[in-house]
Amino acid sequence: MPSFEVAIVGGGLCGLSVAIALKNRSIPFTVYEARSSFTELGHGINIGPNALEAFRLIDSSLGEAIYKLCTRNAPGKEDVWFQIRFGAPSGKHHDGELIMELMSPPTGNMTVIRNELLQLLAEMAGLERARFNKKLVELSQDSSGVTLHFADSTQAHATVLIASDGIHSAARRAVLGASNPATEALYSGMGAYRAVVPMSVLSSSIGHEQARTSQIYLGPGAYVIMYPIERGKKVNVGFWPWRREPWHLREWTLPGQRIEMERDFAKWGATVHKIMNVMGDPSFFATHHHTVQPESLVEGRVCLIGDAAHSMPPHQGAGAGQAMEDAYVIAELLSKVDRQKPIQRQIDAAFKGYEAVRKQRSAKVAETSQEAMDWWTGFYNEDVSDEKIEQFTREADEKFRWIWHDDIAGQARSAIKIMEQLLEL
């Protein structure tokens, strides 16, 4: 084994992005994936300005490659993140009326199919450094590094471990312990009725303009989101109500929830009812996230990143971007570790630099993502005033600009500076 070897647990979008970043920096690594292949479930994933910039910093060719995979809004609306509209009549405002266009140049609402993006990342990372059917069950550490214990009774050893194994992170559980309140993701008190609808069907129902451009509808006690996917052939739709009662089910997805959806959105306007009419019998997905965060994202030679570190509700479309920022910053720090004679002091300094820069920002994004559900669902009433619309428009720009337009390369420089200062002590 090389003197410096990085183990990456979890071969999802975050883990493979780390792998590409390490490969480009000539750092030896192995990806350990619990499944038999690299596979991502789900449909579209949003790529905002910060996520695209992080991909470019990870690998300069990734940005252009992702552009080729992505679906964007209709011509002339490419820089629109979402058009935000009334989901029901309100005073002088009619159903479907445009409240504002929230702009996010240069990406707008770029979407890519999760599995298509994963296959691109897997190709760039290289399958030769992947080990499949490796379900992590335990970790142990000593002065030489980390030993990974898998369900198939095999083991692997590495200098450091980067845990990117998602919201159900086995590495997080191994580090924190099963009884720690920060270990398990908990129900968020909300969820979504989800469906994928053919673009032609939705266009016939509500018109091409709204169907072809990403939309958010605000109405009584909920919000509706939809955006084009698969090069504009289909539309991903999510109806987001509160469901505050406790979630006792083991599964997070309930199939066949049309009756419940119609009940929750009965008081909405004609446009949303037309969308419901073409959704079939959708499932309800109960969102979960880590409501309690660990005191540290680092334990010895183990570092948590992505959803393993800071899972969050999707109400700002920010989870993927935070994972990519993590991947870039940790790779830049690891590139500063002596690869022939890595010592604990260097690793400690690198991880402290990572945590000093990334923990506060990702925690703030996670917190505001939870708060955004209240913001989206709290806008509507039966007579929304002009003053409230003006306030909402100002808040919209404030709520997203700091997420989209942070200096990601500057994050890495700050983390490296902290690392270097610690090593000078």
CA distance 193 to 265: 11
Nearest to 239 by CA among 205, 285, 203: 285
* Domains and their CATH numbers in the chain: 6-72+109-185+290-424 (3.50.50.60), 186-289 (3.30.9.30)
Q: Would the pLDDT of 312 be above 90?
A: yes
- Compute the average pLDDT of residues 145-172: 97
**Confidence bin at 425 (pLDDT 50/70/90):** confident
Q: What share of the chain is helix, strand, coil (3-state, %, to 5)?
A: 40, 25, 35
Provide φ and ψ at 316, rounded to 5°: -120, 5
What is the pTM for the complete model shown? Answer: 0.96
Phi, psi of 77 (to 5 degrees): -120, 20
Helix H segments across 299-407? Answer: 307-310, 319-334, 344-377, 386-404
Whole-number pLDDT of residue 1:
47
Confidence class for position 42, pLDDT limits 50, 70, 90: low
* Whole-number average pLDDT of the chain: 95
Q: What does the pLDDT read at residue 264?
A: 98
What pLDDT was estimated at residue 342? 83
Rounded average pLDDT over 346-359: 97
Residue 124 confidence (pLDDT): 95
**Confidence (pLDDT) at 308:** 97
**Is the peptide bond between 106 and the residue preceding it cis, with omega within 30 degrees of 0?**
yes
Q: Name the pairing type of β-strands 6-9 and 29-32.
A: parallel
Percent of the chain with pLDDT over 70: 99
Q: 339 pLDDT band (50/70/90 cuts)? A: confident
> What value does the mean pLDDT take over residues 33-46?
84
On the question of pLDDT at 379 being above 60, the answer is: yes
Mean pLDDT, residues 111-125 taken together: 94
How far is the C-alpha of 37 from the C-alpha of 126, rounded, in Å?
13
CA-closest candidate to residue 162, choices 383, 14, 51, 373: 14
Number of H helices and number of E strands within the chain? 14, 19
- How does pLDDT run across 228-277, given as a tens digit for each residue? 999 999 999 999 999 999 999 999 999 999 999 999 999 999 999 999 99
Q: What is the pLDDT of residue 2?
A: 56
> What's the whole-number mean pLDDT along residues 24-52?
90
Check pLDDT > 90 for residue 340: no
